[in-house]
Amino acid sequence: FCAYIGASIMKHNRSIKDELLERQVELMKADKDKMDFFRFVTHEIKSPVNTAQSAVETALELSGGSMSPTVEDMLSRAVRRLEQATGIVKDLADLTRGGLMKEENLQVVDLSRLVKRLVANQSDVADRSGQVFELNLPDAPVVMTTNLSVVDKIITNLVGNAVRYNKDGGLVKVSLEDTISGIRLAVSDQGIGISSEDQTRVFEEFFRSAAAQKKTTLGTGLGLAIVRKFVDDLKGTIGLESQVGIGTTFTVELPRKTKNSKR
């Protein structure tokens, strides 16, 4: 009887294991199909969007102010929408880019210097609403062997979001720490915050909360999806703490050396 029960349990466990493996394969295939679709869309849309934007911008430039205010306003709004479409195409390209972790794409990166440069790039936008930056960087350089483009995108998206969804006159705090296990980057703002319900969805492609849409029409809903993908590619982790109306902190932990991949 005991042997029969034991065999039944083992058979049941094997069945569950096989089902889980089958489901994992299905999920991996679905993820690959999704990425392939995004790559196709990016390739097909890039050229016509750029062509349309160039044409409208040229028309506005050549008009020399001779257009009626109504027509000029319509074309200006078209340019802004096309710029938004261009942003989506660029984000999709980042999201589907492969082969970034190959050995030949890795280099020694001074993160302290990179953070300073990328924060400076956001200064003009922050100044318009009176926002202030606070940088907390170690005295010694913080370096890691990684893909520069990938780390650049992670920091740019996190700092850009902090500025975009911050309150007027708010503080954006960027901290970098060299820890025993690796490197920790934290980006905080004093902005609109993210509700507990939305926190489970912020890393989904194209997701923008109602509060985010109310704050600004800018944004593609792909920034945090790109951040999560790149953090995963670097074998790191990302955490989120937020309170509505108080602010948000994203914390990224990365290994000092990225393991190369042959993908």
Lowest mean pLDDT among 93-107, 211-225, 234-248: 93-107
Q: Report the mean per-residue pLDDT for the chain.
A: 82
C-beta separation of 231 from 254 below 8 A = yes
Residue with token string 């349309």: 52
Total Cβ atoms within 10 A of residue 167: 17
Strand ranges inside the chain, DSSP E: 107-110, 132-136, 143-146, 171-178, 183-188, 237-243, 247-254
Helix (H) or strand (E) holding 213: helix 210-215
Q: What is the pLDDT of residue 39?
A: 63
Lowest mean pLDDT among 64-78, 80-94, 144-158, 178-192: 80-94
Percent of the chain with pLDDT over 70: 76
CA atoms 150, 241, 246, 183: torsion sign: negative
| Segment 227-250, tens digit of pLDDT | 999 999 899 999 999 999 999 999
C-beta separation of 240 from 202 below 8 A = yes
C-beta separation of 96 from 35 below 8 A = yes
Lowest mean pLDDT among 25-29, 58-62, 201-205: 25-29
Top-confidence residue, 41 or 135: 135
Q: What is the pLDDT of residue 6?
A: 61
Percent of the chain with pLDDT over 90: 40
Share of the chain residues as helix, strand and coil, in percent rounded to the nearest 5 = 55, 15, 25
C-alpha distances out from residue 140 to 81, 111, 112, 136, 198, Å: 44, 11, 9, 12, 38
Question: How large is the average pLDDT for residues 117-124?
Answer: 92
Q: What is the pLDDT of residue 263?
A: 42
Q: What is the pLDDT of residue 19?
A: 66
Q: H helices of 64-182, where?
A: 69-96, 111-121, 123-128, 148-164
Per-residue pLDDT band at 168 (split at 50, 70, 90): very high
Top-confidence residue, 125 or 6: 125
Per-residue pLDDT band at 7 (split at 50, 70, 90): low
Lowest mean pLDDT among 16-25, 47-56, 87-96, 139-148: 16-25
d(CA 155, CA 111): 10
Q: What is the pLDDT of residue 262?
A: 47
Top-confidence residue, 188 or 66: 188
This prediction's pTM: 0.72
How far out from the chain centre does Cα 149 lie?
Answer: 13
Per-residue pLDDT band at 81 (split at 50, 70, 90): confident
d(CA 38, CA 62): 35
